[in-house]
Homo-oligomer: A and B are copies of this chain.
Amino acid sequence: MTDVIRRRPRQADVAALAGVSQATVSTALGTSPARASLSASTLERVALAARTLGYVPDPVARRLAAQSTDLLGVYTFTDAFPVEVRDSYYPFLVGIERSAARLGYDLLLFTGTSSSRGGEAVQKVRLADGCLFLGRHVPEEQLQQLLDAGYPVVYVGRRTELGGRLSYVGADYVAGAAQVVDHLAGLGHTALLYVRGTDDAVASADREEGFWRAVAAAGLRGQVQRAYASSIDARALQSWRASGVTAVVTEENDANDLLAALLAAADDADVAVPQEMSLAVLGESGGVETAPRVTGFALPRQQMGEDAAALLVDLVTGRRTGPVQELLVPSLLVGETTGPPPPA
């Protein structure tokens, strides 16, 4: 009598029942080309035995032997499930999950905070076939190691670190900025001011580039000014108006809310938006509860997630190779803060 409290059945058990070798079971149940050279009757017997025993392959062993788990890692540097539901990461995850599910992959969720052993923790993602990263943070050394080992990694969001070796699916801020500027040009504005924050993030630079390009293309007058939210007040606004500016665009900026400062300044200065001054943001206007719906552009977040996951799968399967970098074009959001310029 064999032990009744047998652990999970393994291929060896199936093999015994079917009267074949473990190797044959592996072949019969797998998808390798070798499968074609097994007789129909053997395939059938193995399948039957497997069903009878309720055999299910052990994904861990499978991975150890074959280097593949049908798992995609998702590494976030903040909680993946933010309490702030409006959190901007969320739509990425929705997209990622969709794509993964469609392609038959499951998700391995790492939170930077968890195994807080800092650096080393990232290596744990190797349990998955490949890994998506999202978040501002870029652990260069760790990524370096992963890349060197040929481990597939895709960032959600444009990342220029590591000399372009990183694959990513990002948003085309240049195009987004251009859309906003074009929108203003279409309304008849000719003198624009772009107020941007003082940091040097990639996205910021892209937005500025988009601003300049569109300004040039449309033959407008434009200028850029860097500012802290605290330095934007009624007086500044008045001086801009005096210099002929009819529309101000700014960047969304969580840390340092330029947009809110501009709205407040307009209010202070009794400048009606958009009648006397148009206002737009090169990005999305934060929360839903923002009083006026501000003109700007929306990142195709869910689509970015989907594309990133799909790209990762391609890298994993080898359908695509090398660093692949993809930019998706945002869509213009026309809000209530832009209108034709005031009559001269």
A149 at the interface (CB under 8 A from B): yes
Do the beta carbons of A127 and B81 come within 8 Å of each other? Answer: no
Chain A interface mostly helix, strand, loop or mixed? mixed
Q: Chain B's nearest CB lies how many Å from the CB of A127? A: 5
Say whether A275 faces chain B, with CB atoms less than 8 Å apart: no
| Min distance, Cβ A7 to any Cβ of chain B, angstroms | 7
In the bound complex, residues from chain B placing their C-beta under 8 Å from that of A79 are 94, 97-98, 101
Check: A56 CB closer than 8 A to any chain B CB: yes
- The residue of chain B having its C-beta at the shortest distance from the C-beta of A149 within the complex is B8
Option from B63, B85, B106, B111 in Cβ contact (under 8 Å) with A60? B63
Contact with B along A293-317 (1 / 0, CB 8 A): 0000000000000000000000000
What chain B residues lie within 8 Å of A90 (beta carbons)?
81, 85
Bound-complex Cα distance A70 to B56 (A): 22
Instruction: Please measure, in the bound complex, the distance between the C-alpha atom of A123 and the C-alpha atom of B61, giving whole angstroms.
Output: 13
Q: Which residues does chain B contribute within 8 Å of A120, judged by CB atoms? A: 56
Across the interface, which residues of B come within 8 angstroms of A82, CB to CB? 94
Residues of B within 8 A of A59 (CB): 124, 126-127
Q: Does A100 contact B (CB under 8 A)?
A: yes
Q: Flag if A114 contacts B93 (CB, 8 Å).
A: no
Across the interface, do A106 and B97 meet the contact criterion of CB distance under 8 Å? no
Among A58, A64, A106, A113, find the residue whose CB has the most chain B CB atoms closer than 10 A.
Answer: A106
Given A85-B90, A94-B81, A106-B108: A101 touches B114 (CB 8 Å cut-off): yes
Report Cα–Cα, A90/B83, bound state, in Å: 9
Which residues does chain B contribute within 8 Å of A149, judged by CB atoms? 7-8
A69 at the interface (CB under 8 A from B): yes
Report the separation of the CA atoms of residues A94 and B108 in the bound assembly, to the nearest whole angstrom.
Answer: 16
A109–B128 Cα gap in the complex (Å)?
12
A52 to B83, CA, bound (A): 39
Chain B contacts for A93, CB-based, 8 A? 81
The yes or no answer to A33 lying at the interface (CB within 8 A) is: no
CB–CB A145/B54 < 8 A: yes
Q: Is the CB of A61 within 8 A of B64?
A: yes
Query: A24-39 CB contact bits vs B (8 Å, 1 = yes)?
Result: 0000000000000000
A160 within 8 A of B: no
- Complex Cα distance, B82 from A107, in Å, reads 15
Asked if A105 is at the interface (CB within 8 A of a chain B CB), the reply is yes
- Determine whether the beta carbon of A60 is less than 8 Å from that of B64: yes
Of B80, B85, B106, which contacts A124 at CB under 8 A? B106
Task: Establish whether residues B104 and A114, one from each chain, have CB atoms under 8 Å apart when the complex forms.
Answer: yes
Closest to A112 in B: B101
A115 within 8 A of partner (CB): yes
Per the bound structure, the CA–CA distance linking A127 and B106 in Å amounts to: 11
Chain B residues in 8 Å Cβ range of A54: 145
Contact indicator A114/B100 (Cβ below 8 Å): yes
Enumerate 11 A-B pairs (CB-CB under 8 Å) in ascending A order. Answer: A59-B126, A60-B64, A79-B97, A79-B98, A79-B101, A80-B97, A81-B97, A83-B94, A97-B109, A106-B114, A108-B109
